[in-house]
Copies of this chain bind each other. A is one copy, B any other.
């Protein structure tokens, strides 16, 4: 704390915003928090003046919830609203709810369309309309047009600022245009060539323009883009396209093939990571949208539903045990060992399911290779089933001094690990075929299968082998 206090009174160079380890510097966060509590807007402005909006966003998240809107209001027009595109949804929504509408209108008016859409799209439609009404006309129209595209579509995420030129211009004329036009986009790496009706003809990367001789016509330089996307396409599809073909950007066209925007790969890196994250969370029984900044109550409710489904399946498995009550009482070793069979099957199934879910998401697992993969998983399940049958059988025989018990648990293990392998691959495939998200629902079905098959196989075979009843 000492250096923070010094920092804020005498204003020597502020501590670095991030530590060596890339995490936010607690001393910097403390300096910001101190300036907020002193209502020192100028101090704040000085602290954050050289920061990237991503770091400003991270700082907002690191502040106490009450300090976040105060931080923004103290900075006033010196606050760049782009930073709000860099925070968790829950944080953004809470902050926007606290800010006066004037501040939002002013802040949004300064933003490129894609960032403005990102901030406005989660507001209530009433509030969104009020804010739109108060924006100057060109921004309002452009924003409205982007917001009319479906959620999570390319139309919502694209940059609408780009440079388009006609094919008959020469390289020289184009270069003069670029040198002399004041309101070009802030940054661009290619020119688009459009016909008089603004239909996309092709694109010219800037390095190609620079290499061309001066009297070449732009139309000759334009390579017909192999790929273009529609504004209504899902952002995930665009992300996969850019990723698959290692592209830095792709033009976005409307239904009439007219150029309306451009999507660059830095816009979709987050989409690709979010998609993998959502699968990961779904497999762990957590909603894809859950964020570190959500409230206790929100998280409790959202996790409750998955746990509830799990409770139902646990009772289903328990009712299988209940069927064999008599046998469990006659031979308590069965009660001790039954969970082992269920758990090994469950884990083998989870392995298979994890691979299947991800391969489906990345389109590596398709109808054409599904059979090959199922057959592979069955063989893996058999092999590991036999391996663990021998291992578990030997331990159980020694533990309870009964070779019979070892044989029984061994057979049950092979059956359940095979069931696990089949369930682990077939359930995601079937869910995917019927357009349910396999990441979200596979787990429940799969563990129900391995619990039920595991208990039935083990206790059923034991009943026959030992002549229990």
Q: A residues engaging B (CB < 8 A)?
A: 22-24, 26, 29, 52, 54, 62, 175, 178-179, 184, 187-189, 205-207, 209-214, 226, 237, 240, 242-248, 264-267, 269-270, 272-273, 276-277, 279-281, 283-286, 290, 292, 296-297, 299-300, 303-304, 306-308, 310-311, 314-315, 317-318, 321-322, 325, 328-329, 332, 335-337, 339-340, 342-344, 347-348, 350-351, 353-355, 358-359, 362-369, 373, 376, 379-380, 383-384, 387-388, 391-392, 395, 451
Contact = CB atoms under 8 A, between A and B. Distances in A.
A399 to B, nearest CB: 8
A27 to B, nearest CB: 10
A415 to B, nearest CB: 16
A328 B280 CA distance: 38
Main SS of the interface on chain A?
helix
A23 B363 contact: yes
A246 B384 contact: no
- Please list the 5 inter-chain residue pairs (A to B) with the smallest Cβ-Cβ separation, ordered nearest first: A284-B354, A276-B276, A335-B335, A206-B206, A280-B280
A24 B273 contact: no
Given A179-B210, A281-B355, A391-B311, A318 B303 contact: no
B207 A306 contact: no
Contact of A281 (B207, B286, B336, B358): B358
B244 A365 contact: no
A337 B321 CA distance: 9
A438 to B, nearest CB: 13
Q: How many copies does the complex hold?
A: 2
Contact of A265 (B54, B212, B269): B269
Contact of A335 (B210, B284, B321, B387): B321
A280 B283 CA distance: 8
A281 B380 contact: no
B306 A179 contact: no
